[in-house]
Structure 1
Amino acid sequence: DVSIVAAADKFPEPREAFARDFEGEVYEDASDLCKSPNIDFVYIATPHQFHKEHVIMAAEQGKHIIVEKPMALTLGDCDAMIDAVDRTGVKLIIGHTHSYDPAIRTMRDVIASGELGNLGMINTWNYTNFLYRPRRPEELDTSLGGGILFNQVPHQVDSVRLLGGGKVKSVRSATGIWDASRPTEGSHITFLEFEDGAAASLVYSGYDHFDSDELNGWVGEGGQARPPGQHGRNRRSLQEVKSQEEETALRTSAYAYKGLGNQGNNTADQHQPRFGVMVVSCEGGDMRPTADG
């Protein structure tokens, strides 16, 4: 069994909501949380540029760690994190999620069984409003982990590599920065080739012109039912924002923890999670995740 016993956040409102919901310890500083003797492992979902610092800090306090993707911003930072957990003897897991989606796991089982013959290709694409959701400044700066390459493409790579079941031998990719006011990568098209000859194409656009949830019956990434025709709304809303400070405040308001009763989930309309549209092609047939299987 796992019990949620503590949380750290720089803002008071999320701390108050957590204390109310879980009757747990709350901290303004993550270092104080890591020192608590009541904690066995921590989940780190801080901005990407702090992952290295916070993982090492938790490891040195003897805490096992789940850290959100991306693991870090450089290979050197990743090596330092690995050295820290090896030195202290704790476990470190990078928090990829979509390779655990039921449909992805089922398709991998079918591929591995040989029921449909050898895997030939995987095509996956996702069109969202990612770049036009309210952002902090660093989320629009690639050097600090901004844009889709650090935040969205890992979901595609994670799922495709699991389905491919082997090592990738070649990568070709083109990325795009198409809006000078959001100066970080918002699109990519990538071609992967596996050692066994299978191939994959990955496409993502976060420019809020088209919403690929339309091709999934208006079911969103987390499996939630969505109203149709929402593409472009975020882009238009941002035109009314007057400053970066206002946008940062909007982001905090939209995504900060507000309490268990304010998460906006309607279980009656809940479907299976998925990440965009995917078609997996084997010698004997094609497969794709759907809203319910």
Structure 2
Amino acid sequence: MKASNVTLRCWTILSTVLSLGLLVFILGFVYIKAQGVVTLNFILAKPAGFPVGSAGGIWPAIAGSLLVTLIAALSAGILAFFTAVYMVFYCRSPRFSLLLNLIIQCIAGIPSIVLGLFGYAFLVIKLELGLSLLASGLTLAIMIFPFIQIRLQKLFQETSQQLLDAAASLGVSQAYTIFNLLLPLYRKQILSIVALASGFAMGAAAPVMLTGCMMNAPVPKSITSPFMSLPYHLYVLIGQGISLENAYGTAFILMSLVLGLNLLAALPTILRMRGKP
């Protein structure tokens, strides 16, 4: 028994060290390959040169990625929250609940390029949103909606039945209980789940390249404007052989932003481990 515990602990430590080592190695490798391209000017400047991207920076791509991710996170987060609330607290039909779960799991399995085609056909053409920040954000929202909804549903299912019964015995409505008791109680976990999904959305290229992303565009001034994004900019730099160094620099910035979102998602757990409220 003791030998098995020691073996399990050794494997756990080894897996953790390998995971962290792999992360550091990839970040370091990409940064070294960038050959000093990652500077403040590279981050804040616009793409320049001929072809575009061979010089200058990537600020419009950074701004576009952040804005489209924000739209996707807000849209998917709100929809996923109310869907999870309905399925846990209001749905009384096991068959309908099973059907909804099946639909959500099917959405989770749709390839991102297919979502891009759907966004182009329905949002861009049918709804006449055009190639825009809004169309891309809504397409990404569809992609990350199952990711958020499944986790929120599991979170709400773990709610203490005693808490719900106590609120009901006091004559408190279920809606009041959800928005004034459960929402503050799970606020950090909900934000953590949405932040994790945002990192997933930020790294997607296929949905945005068909719905609003351009090779060269200024920082969008409205949600109806086209934009640049880091994944698609990286794809263009490598696919067309424009600048390998700038491609590695773009990749490093993209990885850093996604890593930052993942750390933000893990912040509640870190604070809880340190004993902070």
Task: Bin the TM-score by the shorter chain.
Answer: under 0.3
Structure with the greater alpha carbon radius of gyration: 2
Compare relative contact order (CA 8 Å, sep 6+) and give the higher one, 1 or 2: 2
If each structure's strand is expressed as a fraction of its own residues, which one has the higher value? 1
- What is the TM-score of this pair, normalised by structure 1? 0.21
